[in-house]
């Protein structure tokens, strides 16, 4: 029976290293949530605390309504999938999948039918008698998923399960894992540092940074309404500029950028615009390279010089020096006329596409 998971003020340090700083997270029953963030931000620690491999220094962990903070791992009924598959090399596929069922003394005839059912679930019927060394990476990972859900767990935890696979297989397996999760309707916590993978697979994403959860939301919420420059930069590509609020009225804010010009943003909440240092962010697909005579149709324009132009098949990346630390990236459709380096131009966009972000 799938269940919700609640982390309440959960903190964990290893000696002087603070791995988690009192995080709160509620994972709904049947939800697929991804912990996303750079190396060392605390993703694996969070997973290990839920699994019971580590104990928190403070806080509580609930599974359903039960406080499992001090419950040993084997009593938590949690399935776990690791990047290195962790299959038993000396056991066949069938014996690997059957292992958790045997441990729970499931009758032999039930084990046989359950293994068959699980191999069908992961679309690998026919490999029962093979050993793990006779499987491809994708197949091995399917078997480790089958083993993790053999005795239906209350929650499935997956730590970078696709990290060892090449890109094409990764994409196939993303869809496969999601299908399996949806078929079983099992509450799942998935860890990755790959933002595309997180966006492809998850109901919600928790973006982590330095032992804290910076933002939780659907892929769309996080991409379209990031709260901080960190989240905006980690999830997708973004052009960032330090900014100071100059004025605000009737839903429009004016902000100073680059020490010499003002741009407009559609106002979000008061709090976001007034607390702490700010910056503005504009997604590359929202920017347009100014075409003479049309620039005035846009709310915002910054002059700049094209420094690089690269074709990547479905789009063209134009890099424009606007006087910021990093060149601005403009994504254009590939049918646009190529621009030579050194071309003077303007990058243009509209006020609703200016994201006002916490710069911290
Ligand atoms: P990665 O993507 O590299 O796996 P992560 O986000 O999963 O990173 P964690 O493994 O949770 O990060 O580690 C968080 C911090 O805690 C890191 O600074 C790490 O070095 C530290 N840490 C984790 N486990 C231990 C441990 N057993 N002993 C000491 N420090 C640890």
Of 13, 34, 45, best ligand 1 pocket probe by most atoms within 8 Å of the beta carbon: 45
Q: Kindly state if the Cβ of 45 falls inside 6 Å of ligand 1.
A: yes
Q: Which residues contact 292 (CB under 8 A, 6 or more apart)?
A: none
Residue closest via CA to ligand 1's atom 9 equals 42
Q: Which residues pair with 356 in a beta bridge?
A: 280
**Residue 300, helix vs strand vs coil:** strand
Tell me how far the alpha carbon of residue 52 lies from the centroid of ligand 1, in angstroms.
16
pLDDT greater than 90 at residue 26:
yes
Confidence of residue 134 (pLDDT cuts 50, 70, 90): very high
Residue closest via CA to ligand 1's atom 21 equals 19
Residue-wise pLDDT tens digits, 59-94: 999 999 999 999 999 899 999 998 888 899 999 999
Confidence of residue 292 (pLDDT cuts 50, 70, 90): low
Map out the domains of the chain with their CATH numbers: 5-224 (3.40.50.300), 237-358 (2.40.50.100)
The confidence score (pLDDT) of residue 329 equals: 96
Pairing of strands 58-63, 5-14: antiparallel
Both tokens of residue 236?
């997708």
Q: Are 309 and 325 in contact (CB under 8 A)?
A: no
Of 42, 57, 191, 197, best ligand 1 pocket probe by most atoms within 8 Å of the beta carbon: 42
Q: Kindly state if the Cβ of 40 falls inside 6 Å of ligand 1.
A: yes
Residue 293 neighbours by CB distance under 10 Å: 7
Both tokens of residue 344?
């003077």
Residue-wise pLDDT tens digits, 243-259: 998 888 878 888 999 88
What pTM, to 2 d.p., does this model score?
A: 0.91
Q: Which of 25-29, 100-104, 260-264, 311-315 is most confident?
A: 25-29
Tell me how far the alpha carbon of residue 167 lies from the centroid of ligand 1, in angstroms.
25
- The number of C-alpha atoms within 13 Å of 266 and in the hemisphere containing its C-beta is 7
pLDDT greater than 80 at residue 296:
no
Q: Kindly state if the Cβ of 44 falls inside 6 Å of ligand 1.
A: yes
Closest ligand 1 atom to residue 54 Cα is 27
Closest ligand 1 atom to residue 46 Cα is 11
pLDDT greater than 80 at residue 188:
yes
The confidence score (pLDDT) of residue 270 equals: 55
Distances (CA, A) of 58 to 4, 8, 23, 30, 43: 20, 9, 10, 27, 17
């Amino acid at each position: 029976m799938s269940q919700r998971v609640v982390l309440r003020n959960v903190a964990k340090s290893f000696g002087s290293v603070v791995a988690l700083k009192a995080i709160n997270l509620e994972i709904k029953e049947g939800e697929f949530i991804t912990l996303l963030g750079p190396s060392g931000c605390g993703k694996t620690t969070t997973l290990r605390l839920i699994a019971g491999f580590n104990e928190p220094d403070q806080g509580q962990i609930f599974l359903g309504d039960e406080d499992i903070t001090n419950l040993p791992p084997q009593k938590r009924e949690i399935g776990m999938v690791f990047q290195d598959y962790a299959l038993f090399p000396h056991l066949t596929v069938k014996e690997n999948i059957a292992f958790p069922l045997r441990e729970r003394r499931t009758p032999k005839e039930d084990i046989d039918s359950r293994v068959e059912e699980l191999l069908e679930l992961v679309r690998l019927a026919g490999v029962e008698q093979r050993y793990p060394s006779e499987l491809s990476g994708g197949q091995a990972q399917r078997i480790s998923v089958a083993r993790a859900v053999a005795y239906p767990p209350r929650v499935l935890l997956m730590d970078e399960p696709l990290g060892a696979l090449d890109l094409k297989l990764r994409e196939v397996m993303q869809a496969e894992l999601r299908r399996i999760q949806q078929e079983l309707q099992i509450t799942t916590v998935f860890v990755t540092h790959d933002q595309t993978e997180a966006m492809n697979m998850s109901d919600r994403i928790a973006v982590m940074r330095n032992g804290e959860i910076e933002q939780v939301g659907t892929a769309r919420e996080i991409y379209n309404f990031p709260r901080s420059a960190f989240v905006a930069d980690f999830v997708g590509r973004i052009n960032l500029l330090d900014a100071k609020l100059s004025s605000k009225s009737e839903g429009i804010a004016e902000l100073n950028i680059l020490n010499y010009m003002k741009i407009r943003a559609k106002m979000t909440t008061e709090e976001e615009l007034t607390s702490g240092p700010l910056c503005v962010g504009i997604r590359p697909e929202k920017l347009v390279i100014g075409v003479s005579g049309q620039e005035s149709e846009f709310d915002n324009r910054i002059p700049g010089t094209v420094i690089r132009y690269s074709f990547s098949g479905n789009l063209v990346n134009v890099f424009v020096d606007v006087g910021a630390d990093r060149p601005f990236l403009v994504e254009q459709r590939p049918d646009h006329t190529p621009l030579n380096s050194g071309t003077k131009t303007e990058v243009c966009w509209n006020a609703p596409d200016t994201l006002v972000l916490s710069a911290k």
